[in-house]
Amino acid sequence: MPETKPIKLLVVDDEEGIVHFTKKIYEHKGFIAFGATDGVTAVEIFKKERPQISLIDVHMPYSPIDGIETLRQIKEIDKNAVCIMVTRITEQDKVDAARSAGAFAYLLKPLTAEDIDNVISEAREKLGF
């Protein structure tokens, strides 16, 4: 039976606690998880590590770039990157911007672990894992 490589996951949120908590959950599930608290760092990590799935917060007021711009830059590096946008923001223009930039999904906070697990399962199917 061939050995399967673990999935790499990038968690991007301006709240360090959310990044740490989410990384730990998915590391426990066998993922290799990376975290960033701003979009610039996230793009640098993406360039180096090439995670298959990225969870990106849309609203990051302390980041030089917001989640939508982070998504755009990641998609410029890899147009097939699976990026899941997470936010409290429900403005339709943000949803439309994320979709037009190539977001795989757009989830609204507050989230349950089941919400994230479901969309990550969908992403894994898309990736063939």
Read off the CATH number of the domain in which 39 is found. 3.40.50.2300
More confident residue, 126 or 38: 38
- Averaged pLDDT, 83-110: 89
Residue 20 covered by a domain = no
Residue 54 covered by a domain = yes
Contact 81, 75 (CB under 8 A): yes
Token pair, residue 96, equals 């439309």
Confidence bin at 30 (pLDDT 50/70/90): very high
Residue 106 covered by a domain = yes
Q: State how far the Cα of 47 lies from the Cα of 61, in Å rounded to an integer.
A: 23
Give yes or no for residue 103 having a pLDDT over 70.
Answer: yes
Q: Is 52 strand, coil or helix? A: coil
Domain holding 82, by residue range, is 33-127
pLDDT at 113: 86
pLDDT at 58: 94
Residue 95 covered by a domain = yes
Confidence bin at 3 (pLDDT 50/70/90): low
Give yes or no for residue 51 having a pLDDT over 70.
Answer: yes
Contact 98, 71 (CB under 8 A): yes
Residue 79 covered by a domain = yes
Our count of domains for the chain comes to: 1
The overall pTM is greater than 0.85: yes
Phi (first) and psi of residue 93, to 5 degrees: -65, -35
